[in-house]
Amino acid sequence: MLVLLVKKLKMKIHIFYRHYNVQGTDNKNRPSWFDYENCYDNLFNSINLNKSVKINIVYDSKEDNWVKSKGCSTFHEIKAGGDMESFWETVKIAHKDNSIVDGDLIYFLENDYMHVGGWVDKVLELFQTYNGLDYVSLYDHNDKYFLPMYDNLTSKIFTSSSHHWRTTPSTCGSFITTKQRLNEDFDILSTMRGDHNKWLWLNENRSRFVFTPIPGLSTHCMNGLLSPTIKWEKI
């Protein structure tokens, strides 16, 4: 249950950005403007040197030359060899990071997302407005609006000072949570396969909820699945 906070909390956002060598590996249906390096640059530009944010790069396999040259707070090299395995390793790295306190936020982020400017302030605003948030995705899932399986989907709508938010049954591998919630759900986040199955299990067994913004503050860069109402090609 969400509770309005009376006193604002000081918190940081620790981004764990998962990347791998992408040369010749992408066979997904991408927009014509999509580029991994552009997504990476967009992340830094959208943060705009906000001191509340720390960026960790989690790199699987041989690095792309431009990754380290862009700069980041911390660089982790892993040998996972697959998307799900890479996610599990990243969860373990965040779980062991003693610099992250219970009130801080952790943003697990895949390397094919674009963000709108100002998302950091909106996320902090949300978590400083409500106590008890479980998981937040910045992606307004377009499939929730047109797939037949969601014809009867109902959502609760919440507002912060400057944005609308809704509950949603699931999200992808890019989401924000607190260190406390990560510790509590570590057993599931670090072992369970399948994004959709994971979120349904957490909801049914631990009453966890996922919240997403309306309109989206980020998008997964896939044709037909972009967060609606935003001209992402101009961002």
Domain with residue 110: its CATH number is 3.90.550.10
Residue 6: inside a domain: no
Torsion angle of C-alpha atoms 90, 91, 96, 97, degrees rounded to 10: 70
Band the pLDDT of 8: cuts 50, 70, 90: low
Residue 1, pLDDT score: 53
Residue 217, pLDDT score: 98
Is the pLDDT assigned to residue 147 strictly greater than 60? yes
Is the pLDDT assigned to residue 94 strictly greater than 60? yes
158-168 pLDDT, tens digit per residue, is 999 999 999 99
Identity of the residue numbered 100 = I
Residue 3: inside a domain: no
Residue 2: inside a domain: no
Query: Domain limits at 161?
Result: 11-234
Residue 6, pLDDT score: 43
100 to each of 1, 94, 189, how far by Cα in Å? 24, 8, 17
Residue 2, pLDDT score: 63
Between residues 188 and 28, the one the model is more confident about: 188
Residue 72, pLDDT score: 64
48-81 pLDDT, tens digit per residue, is 878 899 999 998 876 666 676 666 668 888 988 8
Residue 114: inside a domain: yes
Residue 66: inside a domain: yes
Mean residue pLDDT of the chain comes to: 90
Residue 37: inside a domain: yes
Residue 67: inside a domain: yes
Query: What percent of the chain shows pLDDT beyond 90?
Result: 74
Who's near 188: CB < 8 A, 6+ residues apart?
Answer: 198, 201, 202
Q: How far apart are CA 34 and CA 38, in angstroms?
A: 7
In residues, how long is the chain? 235
Total number of domains in the chain: 1
